[in-house]
Amino acid sequence: MTVLSDRDIKKAISSGKIVIQGLQEEHIGPSSIDLRLGNKFMVFKHAEVTHIDPRENAKDELMSLIEIPEGQSFIIHPGEFVLSNTMEYVKLPGDMVGRLDGRSSWGRLGIVIHSTAGSIDPGFEGQLTLEMANISKVPVKLWPGSRICRLTFDMLSSPSENPYNTRKGSKYLKQTGPQPSRISGD
């Protein structure tokens, strides 16, 4: 696989091969695009939930959605895990994989941007859900609109036979806002 350079990213965007709604040109780096933090956060109802059973997924019973008004922040406490999303809406072609990484500046504050899901399938379309955790010993303010992660692009050796947007059972296609686990659909 080949990682796209800024020149190739711009070419893919201008041709419509990659679609990133809400992209700001100055967020294109040498080999990636910085994406911004959305204003919606899902938090576990830890005081009400005795356990999580992945076979019985009931998001309303497990998590609460918090929407942060413009100009305000969300505080993520030490040891806390939350879901959020990117402001940008991403659409990848069937011959490209996206890789999501946290930005180093946030990592140096103890903020992990994704716990496991760092790969975006060929054919995916939607806002990206961020699996965020604070591994430091102090609370950190998260400001919606901040550049929170970066997306790189790898070309496949050939187009996928069964990209995400045509695969039966694609649970997160065209998602907007943070989406909880749909593992019970496996």
Q: What is the pLDDT of residues 33-81, one digit of tens each?
A: 999 999 999 998 888 878 888 887 656 678 899 999 999 999 999 999 9
User: What is the structure's pLDDT at 51?
Assistant: 80
The residues annotated as belonging to the active site are 131
Return the domain boundaries, the chain: 2-180
| Strands of the chain, DSSP E | 2-3, 19-21, 33-36, 40-44, 63-67, 74-76, 81-91, 96-102, 111-112, 119-120, 125-134, 140-142, 147-155
The CA-atom distances, in angstroms, between 70 and each of 13, 37, 97, 165 are 29, 12, 32, 32
User: What is the structure's pLDDT at 57?
Assistant: 61
| The domain defined by 2-180 carries CATH number 2.70.40.10 | yes
> How would residue 124 be classed by pLDDT, with cut points 50, 70 and 90?
very high
Report the chain's mean pLDDT, rounded to a whole number.
Answer: 91
User: What is the structure's pLDDT at 1?
Assistant: 67
CB-based contacts of 126, cutoff 8 Å, min separation 6: 89, 90, 172, 173, 174, 175, 176
Tell me the pLDDT tens digit for each residue of 139-158. Answer: 999 999 999 999 999 999 99
Q: What pTM, to 2 d.p., does this model score?
A: 0.90
